[in-house]
A and B are shown apart, each in its own frame.
Chain A
Amino acid sequence: MDDRVLFIEEDENIAAELSTWIAGQQFRIQTACSFKTAAPHLNGNHTDIVIADPYTPGGDGHLLLKRFKADNPTKPLIIVTAPENTETAMTAFKATVVEYLNKPINTLALDIALQHARQRLALNHKIDSYTQKLEDLHYAQNLYQQLFDEVPCYISVQDRNFRLTAMNRLFKRDFGNEAGAYCYKIYKHRDTPCPKCPVAKTFEDGRRHQTEEVVTSKHGKQYNVLTWTAPLRNDDDEITQVMEMATNITEVRRLQDHLTSLGLMLGSMSHGVKGMLTALDGGIYQLETGIRKKDNGRIELGFHRIQQSSARIRKMVLEILFYAKSRGMQHEATDVAELAEAVADAVKPMADNNGHTLVVDIASDAGNFEADTNWIQQSIVNFLENAVDACTDDTEKNNHRIGFRVYPQGEEMIVFDISDNGIGMDEETRQKMFTLFFSSKGSKGTGLGLFISNHIIRQHGGRIDVTSEYGKGTQVKISLPRFRTAESSIARPLLDGSN
């Protein structure tokens, strides 16, 4: 596009003559014989180059030209004055002016001045566009860096030796900021590359690969991650690096585990429930035929069996209800002795029925503690019932004794000590006793009782110590803090890994 020239000259003849010549040099020319008529054009929107004599009448030429230069620093200004004014003009405008020309105007000098102006304009245009591009680039770079850093995945870039060359913020947070370290060292704490490495595959075939891995953070936490790899190529289309993006799916897997266990549980439940219903049918049958035969012994037996079955069904349903819902504990100040007596009363009939002695010893200085009474009671009853079962299952000894001691330990702890001289556990059973669905009781157990009891004690900030010897007996020591811990009031899913 032709640059627009504004020519401010008092002498109309000179103006007309020179403007024809200037137009011939591929400029669009506008003339004004005074600053008054020039004023509307004296701005960057209308004019690219100004040729002016600041002494032209009709306004303060110096002021108007200086203002134009101040507003449009990139638009060239050529000053044309009588020789005696040149020095004053030079003092006033200094280097903001491209050329100072003397009147009368030499067309050759004007031509050179205009060419300079035109070059200056072109240069300024270029600088403008480069600056804009640089700014865009800077913005884009910032944006990509931000994207790289803020993406909720672990991103690392690796070379052929699996050395990390770049990592994003999340990666640095969980796996450290050690550029140059080996991927397998950082992610898996290995000394050699992992077998079936997706990064190695991408280096080989240039395609994306997906795997699921278990990695260990710098804090020792294990995460399930879904990894995607992508090749990074240089200008010659050679793969120089591979980007690995790992999404933390630990939560998803945890939920999946929970659902799987729920499914498993329903499966194992359904078998147990069917057995219990059959046993209930058995009781009803005894009762029914007993009434028909007027056989009191059979009526009593039937009634007893129905009682037993309904207790079993009730227990299982309660366990399922507990399991199906993760809950916070409802802590309240509780009298330890009162709770312990209630627990002992609940278990006493069961011990008596089976011919075992229950020895209860509750310290007089047991005091109070903060606990969810319902669940703690249920949990301790569970351990006591197991002690009774362990005695019943033991056919070697004649006299069975279940001990239930409750006493304070230091200022902070209450201990519930449950011991029996029943059948005891082998090492394998002892290790698995708190595992979900593990039961040593065949179809009588659900594998939920101790799992839940353990969970309740832990949610109270307590601990369970078990010693046992097969054939000799078992001792379970449940230690509970007197005062609630910060974490104990938070609802936690049963399968949160802390069980």
Chain B
Amino acid sequence: MNKKILVIDDDPAVLEYLTTIFEDNGYTTCSAKDAFEGLEVAKREKPDLITLDLEMPGDWGPRFYRKMSEDQTLKNTPVVVISGLSGHKYAINKAVATLSKPFNTDELLQIVAENII
């Protein structure tokens, strides 16, 4: 069965971009446009990896990460931060990798391949 990736980003264009890349490379995807929805989808879909934008309306990426870590079934899911914020390396220290926008597609795919459970 294909590995599943949850993409969380509030910009629909970026969301579409990421899901297309992953699907083109043999992953199944699910997506969410904010942290609240992201948590619901994560609980329901049990993804193998999550990409997370840091600055979104409603709830911030870091808070999503904290809530996710409190959930036993989700806390070991690897998270890749993809953000336009500077200084994001320190925002979520347990993230397996951080990429800044605009990102390199090959680099992203390599990171995902290395970290997906």
Binding stretch for chain B, among A133-141, A271-279, A471-479: A271-279
Chain B: residues with CB nearer than 8 A to chain A? 10-11, 13-14, 16-18, 20-21, 24, 55-57, 84-86, 100-103, 105
Q: How far is the CA of A273 from the CA of B101 in the complex (A)?
A: 9
Given the known interface contacts A271-B55, A271-B84, A275-B84, the answer about A282 and B10 at a Cβ–Cβ threshold of 8 Å is no
Whether, in the assembled complex, A389 has its beta carbon less than 8 Å from a beta carbon of chain B, the answer is no
Asked if residues B11 and A285 are in contact (CB atoms below 8 Å), the reply is no
* Contact pattern, A 424-453, Cβ under 8 Å of B = 1, otherwise 0: 000000000000000000111000000000
- C-alpha gap A262/B55 in the complex (Å): 20
- Answer whether residue A20 sits at the interface, using C-beta atoms and an 8 A cutoff: no
Contact residues in B for A272 (Cβ distance below 8 Å): 84
- The CA of A277 and the CA of B17, in the complex, are separated in Å by 12
Whether A278 touches B20, Cβ cut-off 8 Å, given contacts A305-B13, A442-B56, is no
A279 touches B11 (CB 8 A): yes
* Contact bitstring A263-277, B, C-beta under 8 A = 1, else 0: 000000011111101
Top 8 nearest A-B pairs by Cβ distance?
A282-B17, A274-B84, A279-B13, A274-B101, A278-B101, A277-B102, A442-B57, A271-B84
The prevalent SS among residues of A at the interface is: helix
A378 contacts B by Cβ under 8 Å: no
Q: How many residues of A contact B (CB 8 A)?
A: 22
Answer whether residue A309 sits at the interface, using C-beta atoms and an 8 A cutoff.
Answer: yes
Residues of B within 8 A of A278 (CB): 11, 13-14, 17, 84, 101-103
CB pair A271 B85 closer than 8 Å: yes
Tell me whether B102 and A281 are in contact (CB under 8 A). Answer: yes
Residues B14 and A285 in contact, CB atoms below 8 Å apart: no
- Closest B residue, CB atoms, query A302: B20
A308 to B13, CA, bound (A): 9
Determine if A74 is an interface residue (Cβ-Cβ < 8 Å).
no
A-B contact pairs, 12 of them (CB 8 A): A270-B86, A271-B84, A274-B102, A277-B101, A278-B17, A281-B17, A281-B102, A282-B13, A286-B20, A442-B11, A443-B11, A443-B55
Please, how many angstroms separate the alpha-carbon atoms of A444 and B24 in the complex? Answer: 27
The residue of chain A having its C-beta at the shortest distance from the C-beta of B13 within the complex is A279
- Among B20, B56, B100, the residue within 8 A (CB) of A274 is B100
Q: Considering only CB atoms, which chain B residue lies closest to A279 in the complex?
A: B13
- Cβ contacts A298-341/B at 8 Å (1 or 0 each): 00000001001100000000000000000000000000000000
Asked if A142 is at the interface of the complex by the 8 Å CB criterion, the answer is no
Q: Residues of A contacting B11 with CB < 8 Å?
A: 275, 278-279, 442-444
How far does the Cβ of A479 sit from chain B's closest Cβ, in whole Å? 33
Known A-B contacts A305-B13, A442-B57, A443-B10; A285 and B84 likewise in contact (beta carbons under 8 Å): no
Within 8 Å of chain B (Cβ to Cβ): is A256? no
Point out the residue from B16, B55, B85, B100 that lies within 8 Å of A282, measured CB to CB. B16
Task: State whether B24 touches A289 (Cβ < 8 A).
Answer: yes
Residues of B contacting A270 in the complex (Cβ-Cβ under 8 angstroms): 84, 86
A157 to chain B, nearest CB (A): 51
Most chain A Cβ neighbours within 10 Å, of B56, B85, B86, B102: B102
- In the assembled complex, the CB of B81 is this many whole angstroms from the nearest CB of chain A, namely 13
Distance of B40 from chain A, by nearest CB (Å): 18
User: What is the distance, in angstroms, from B47's C-beta to the closest C-beta of chain A?
Assistant: 20
Closest chain B residue, CB of each to CB of A305 = B13
A280 CA to B17 CA, complexed, in Å: 9
Apart from A278-B11, A283-B13, A285-B20, list 13 A-B contacts with CB within 8 A: A271-B55, A271-B84, A272-B84, A274-B84, A274-B102, A275-B11, A277-B102, A278-B101, A279-B13, A279-B14, A281-B102, A285-B17, A289-B24
A275 touches B101 (CB 8 A): yes
Q: How far is the CA of A272 from the CA of B102 in the complex (A)?
A: 11
Query: Which B residues are in CB contact (< 8 Å) with A308?
Result: 13
CB atoms of B10 and A442 under 8 A apart = yes
The 0/1 profile, CB within 8 Å of B marked 1, for residues 167-206 of chain A is 0000000000000000000000000000000000000000
